[in-house]
A and B are shown apart, each in its own frame.
Chain A
């Protein structure tokens, strides 16, 4: 495997190319510009196409078009741009088209700030667009994880014929660290054969423009999608469970927040406090069992740490805790970064206060 010292956005872009991405359309927004910048020269090298669209709306619809031909397609943006793409993402879900969407998130709401934040959890996991569809949401915490998840994202998208979202904050987008890059994926074009427009295979009616469906057909589609989401919950949950066996306090955090929290947990462990962590890697499907199966005879509290205020993952946590212990939260927001001292103090106050 090839080792490189790379910036988060560029690592995602390179992993996308190696994972088979051959079409990208996007519109500039900080802090994700390095993804389109990188792909603008990298995609042509592998026979792919890069388009800087005239807007977010145009870009997501170009992705729709490219995906309809069975081409592994991608777009990326940050919170405000993802909101603009929302309609298109819902249309992709409706047309059952695979694509990968990357959100390198920043402070919100509104135009917010250009500095990193984890303020798009609810948008990502509950309603990436209208109409009640879901996508898998990958939330890497290291650049290596970002590379691995991006590399395999299309395999999920094509299996489910549904978009996949990668949610990473601007901090991880900008940071540089070492990554091992996997080899170029050999693509199996037969996977998309029975629906992709470029291989009509004698089908008469081959189009991907979703009409106003008859009600019964639409209900069928939604039932089918519901089954897919249930399958994710059973098969595709990814989670890191850290020092849970004897934990009296359990931190729940994802992405950059989880890394800062882990450092604090390590320090608290050295001081003799029994703190562990559940780190969702898939935010959807949410790792329900990890929380539900905790030994609540032992666990005295859950601490939700996010780089957003108020905490957004808290609802999902509480649904599993079911009142069996208190749930606390700590965060920073608006582009103010979490740091080791603040997170340590927050956890420590709860843990030591509980004695």
Chain B
């Protein structure tokens, strides 16, 4: 099985780290993964996109035109890449920022008010964890336990509140993802 994921949004929204965390979690479950970042010269605010491919076998081409799972964290990213999702694919949209009506009827759409949830949980910075949660809830590409373990490893040296906040964000995201399933 081979699945491709595109995370898109703007610089500062945690697009790259979301993709990287997913790739790491996949590797932790003995799958193969590639992570390809694409961004412009800007550090903040510019377009940010990354492609993650997760596969049971060797990954031949890391470049793909159309993805199985698509995440848009803002309106611009949604408009730019909405047609590059495979038929039958999954779109996870940050409904706090993506406001246009979805025209495609051949994909499964999961709308999650990511920014609102992140702020409710405690910090806008966990927005990307909410969205990964939604993906895990909807697609089960990696198990929740594996992702929790990789979050624990990632935040081992930070204050325990930070890990707790991230876990809460993940949980909320998963709930949304499951509902949409």
Q: Footprint of B on A, CB under 8 Å?
A: 5, 30, 114-115, 171, 174-178, 256, 259-260, 262-264, 266, 337-342
Is B119 in contact with chain A by the CB < 8 A criterion?
no
Chain A residues positioned under 8 Å from B40 (CB to CB): 114
CB-CB under 8 A for A340 and B63, given A5-B24, A114-B41, A178-B27: yes
Asked if A339 and B64 sit within 8 Å, CB to CB, the answer is yes
Extra A-B contacts (12), CB below 8 Å, given A263-B60, A338-B63: A114-B40, A171-B36, A177-B33, A177-B34, A177-B59, A177-B62, A178-B27, A259-B60, A259-B61, A262-B60, A264-B61, A341-B66
Bound form: Cα–Cα A174–B64 in Å: 16
Asked if A259 and B37 sit within 8 Å, CB to CB, the answer is no
CB-CB under 8 A for A178 and B32, given A5-B24, A5-B27: yes
Residues of chain B at interface, number, CB under 8 A: 21
Which among A114, A174, A256, A337 is the interface contact of B37 at CB below 8 angstroms? A174
Is B70 in contact with chain A by the CB < 8 A criterion?
no
Chain A residues positioned under 8 Å from B23 (CB to CB): 5, 176
The digit string for B18-32, where 1 denotes a CB below 8 A from any CB of A, is 001001100100001
Residue of B nearest to A341 (CB): B65
Which among B32, B33, B62 is the interface contact of A259 at CB below 8 angstroms? B62
Bound form: Cα–Cα A256–B51 in Å: 15
Most buried by B among A5, A30, A114, A338: A5
Is B35 in contact with chain A by the CB < 8 A criterion?
yes
Asked if B27 and A260 sit within 8 Å, CB to CB, the answer is no
Chain B residues positioned under 8 Å from A256 (CB to CB): 62-63
Most buried by B among A174, A177, A260: A177
Nearest CB in chain B: distance from A1 CB, A: 16
Nearest CB in chain B: distance from A171 CB, A: 7
Chain A residues positioned under 8 Å from B34 (CB to CB): 175-177
Most buried by A among B32, B34, B59: B34
Asked if B32 and A340 sit within 8 Å, CB to CB, the answer is no
CB-CB under 8 A for A337 and B60, given A5-B27, A176-B23: no
CB-CB under 8 A for A175 and B36, given A5-B24, A341-B66: yes
Bound form: Cα–Cα A5–B33 in Å: 9
Which among A5, A30, A178, A262 is the interface contact of B61 at CB below 8 angstroms? A262
Bound form: Cα–Cα A178–B60 in Å: 13
CB-CB under 8 A for A342 and B41, given A176-B20, A176-B35, A177-B33: no
Which among B33, B36, B65 is the interface contact of A174 at CB below 8 angstroms? B36
Residue of A nearest to B51 (CB): A175
Nearest CB in chain B: distance from A341 CB, A: 4
